[in-house]
Structure 1
Amino acid sequence: MSNTAFDQQISLFRFQINNKRFDDETIRILESALVSKDVKSLIEVRLCLREFLRHESVTVIREIAEKSVQQKLFILDFFVRAFALIGDVQSCLALRYEALILRDLKSATCKWLQVSHIEWLNFAEQSLENGFCAIAGKACENAQSCLRFADLETDEISEVTDKIKRMKNHAVTLAASCSVQAQAAKYLEKKTADKSKINSSHCKGKKSAASTLFRNGIKMRNLQKLRELQSLQCNASGSYSVQDHC
């Protein structure tokens, strides 16, 4: 794809978003724009699109607050797909979580929106794989909560419950590990900074002490020279007196 065609595709995608066209055609335009042999350019474009889509998604979600559940889910799904294409895993998972929570809240009156324990488990696994431990733990709790609606035998429920428990424990362990590592890194950083301050202070102390010794040495040397000069003057005066007497 030439640079001109590439720029046109990106501009067209932005145009579609700005005009609230959250459909398959817009997704196809994005897919076409991301076909590039220039890796460096592709990375730069993805970063640019990430910022653009993050800003637009926040704005759009605020605007659709009064829309129907179906419309909200449709638009959320669009942005999930768009973020997935540009490789923004964090935003993709965040909006997927938003959609799952919305469905869960509305499922009391709309049974077709009910989220299955399998959906929550899949989301928990993907969150764990990408390092989002806290959200994975929450997804496990939701999976356990949804399990009561599952049409499963007792043995199957027990097996799924064990799987959920293992995954949640794993998420908690990883979250704690990340927290400990962060605290350790912070401690080491502080320790290094404190050590640097101590060394700096110690060097200043040495410098000050050396400077004082140097100045004292000069004073002692000058005093010694003064005494020698005075001694010579006294000797000279004594010699002159003897000569005059003779």
Structure 2
Amino acid sequence: MVAAEEEEERDAAIPEPLSLFASCLSQHRFGDQELRVLEAALSAGGDVPALLATRAEARCLLRASAVEAFPATGPVEEDGRRFATADFFARAFALVGDVESCLAMKYEALVLRESKYSDDHHLQVSHDEWLTFAKDSLDNGFYTIASKAFANALAHIRPSHARHLDSANSIQEKDRINNITGLQNLAKSLSAQHSVQTQSAEYMKRRTSGVHEKCNLQPGKPKLPGSSMFRLGIKTRNIKKLLRSQERNLDEI
């Protein structure tokens, strides 16, 4: 009875234009038709505050639904459905302007395709897809993921480069490889700098909250899935912003 009342209160808080889209998400309907429903909801309303409120609520709905749709583990046979779902959420997050979540879902979809459909000409991930994703990740501060994506982009070039080393295109391929390698090195460098800043931010966070615990710097951390790595990146970026704000306030005192 209590759960039903909480659900009714949550549904009542959803703006009217989003009610149909919220219903689609609750029924796990993730397709092109649902994206069109979202587009219509985002353009409904007569004033700017109402549109902004709808967009903000749509982001909350999508984030909650994405967490539910992507459990930490899942059977291998569900990879096809997970890929389609990741693609849906990537496009939906793009519509509501949530760049961080959009990139997380794109990475999830690319990794699934790379591992599951590497032999399928229509579904295998291309060099250009990895390169575009790597540049987007670099521009948005996800340096570790960007470095991995640049490595994948290089892996798609080098076999072709080796086969055509003596061809007229070899110079262009060398230039492409050098450019991507340069971007990858930049991502690695920024990732190393970010790691030092993150440790400082974590210290400031513990000191501010009054919790003084010994840092656990054990090597060999377990590998995280793509979406978890992005969530960790988002968290550390927010802490970094908090640290900078605190430093500015101290300077002004």
- Mark yes or no: TM-score above 0.5: yes
The answer to whether the 8 A contact 1:116-1:147 is kept is: no
Matched, 1:169 2:178: no
Instruction: Tell me the residue number matched to 1:203.
Output: none
- For 1:163 and 1:81, how far apart are their aligned partners in 2? 29
Sort the Cα spacing of 1:139 and 1:25 in 2 relative to 1 into closer, same or farther, 3 A: same
Deviation at 1:43, TM superposition (A): 3.6
The answer to whether the 8 A contact 1:106-1:113 is kept is: no
Sort the Cα spacing of 1:142 and 1:8 in 2 relative to 1 into closer, same or farther, 3 A: same
Instruction: Tell me the residue number matched to 1:211.
Output: none
Which amino acid counterpart does residue 61 of structure 1 have in structure 2? Answer: F
Instruction: Tell me the residue number matched to 1:154.
Output: 170
The answer to whether the 8 A contact 2:87-2:106 is kept is: yes
Sort the Cα spacing of 1:13 and 1:108 in 2 relative to 1 into closer, same or farther, 3 A: closer
- For 2:101 and 2:183, how far apart are their aligned partners in 1? 22
- For 2:85 and 2:136, how far apart are their aligned partners in 1? 21
- For 1:189 and 1:66, how far apart are their aligned partners in 2? 39
Deviation at 1:124, TM superposition (A): 0.7
- For 1:163 and 1:64, how far apart are their aligned partners in 2? 38
Matched, 1:129 2:145: no
- For 1:190 and 1:33, how far apart are their aligned partners in 2? 42
Deviation at 1:164, TM superposition (A): 1.2
With normalisation by structure 2, the TM-score equals 0.63
Equivalence map 1:1-246=2 (5 Å): 7-35=15-43, 36=45, 38-62=47-71, 65=75, 67=77, 69-150=79-160, 153-183=169-199
Which amino acid counterpart does residue 76 of structure 1 have in structure 2? Answer: A
Deviation at 1:109, TM superposition (A): 4.2
- For 1:42 and 1:180, how far apart are their aligned partners in 2? 40
- For 2:202 and 2:68, how far apart are their aligned partners in 1? 35
Structure 1 stretches of 4+ with a deviation exceeding 6 A read 186-193
CA shift digits 1:152-189 (9 cap, x unpaired): 63223211211111111221232233344445667788
- For 1:166 and 1:131, how far apart are their aligned partners in 2? 17
Deviation at 1:108, TM superposition (A): 4.1
Deviation at 1:70, TM superposition (A): 4.2
169-178 or 63-72, which deviates more:
63-72
- For 1:59 and 1:190, how far apart are their aligned partners in 2? 30
Q: Which entry has the higher C-alpha Rg, 1 or 2?
A: 1
- For 2:104 and 2:30, how far apart are their aligned partners in 1? 18
Which amino acid counterpart does residue 26 of structure 1 have in structure 2? Answer: E
Partner secondary structure for residue 113 of structure 1? coil
Sort the Cα spacing of 1:133 and 1:48 in 2 relative to 1 into closer, same or farther, 3 A: same
The answer to whether the 8 A contact 1:133-1:174 is kept is: yes
Sort the Cα spacing of 1:175 and 1:38 in 2 relative to 1 into closer, same or farther, 3 A: farther
Which amino acid counterpart does residue 61 of structure 2 have in structure 1? Answer: F
Structure 2, unaligned runs of 5 or more: 1-13, 210-253
Which amino acid counterpart does residue 105 of structure 2 have in structure 1? Answer: L
With normalisation by structure 1, the TM-score equals 0.64
Higher helix share: 1
CA-atom RMSD, angstroms?
3.2
The answer to whether the 8 A contact 2:103-2:137 is kept is: yes
9-18 or 147-156, which deviates more:
147-156
Give the structure, 1 or 2, with the largest relative contact order (CA under 8 Å, sep 6 or more): 2
Sort the Cα spacing of 1:37 and 1:188 in 2 relative to 1 into closer, same or farther, 3 A: same
Sort the Cα spacing of 1:156 and 1:116 in 2 relative to 1 into closer, same or farther, 3 A: farther
CA shift digits 1:172-218 (9 cap, x unpaired): 2322333444456677889999xxxxxxxxxxxxxxxxxxxxxxxxx
The answer to whether the 8 A contact 1:22-1:78 is kept is: yes
The answer to whether the 8 A contact 1:117-1:150 is kept is: no
Sort the Cα spacing of 1:37 and 1:114 in 2 relative to 1 into closer, same or farther, 3 A: same
Instruction: Tell me the residue number matched to 1:221.
Output: none
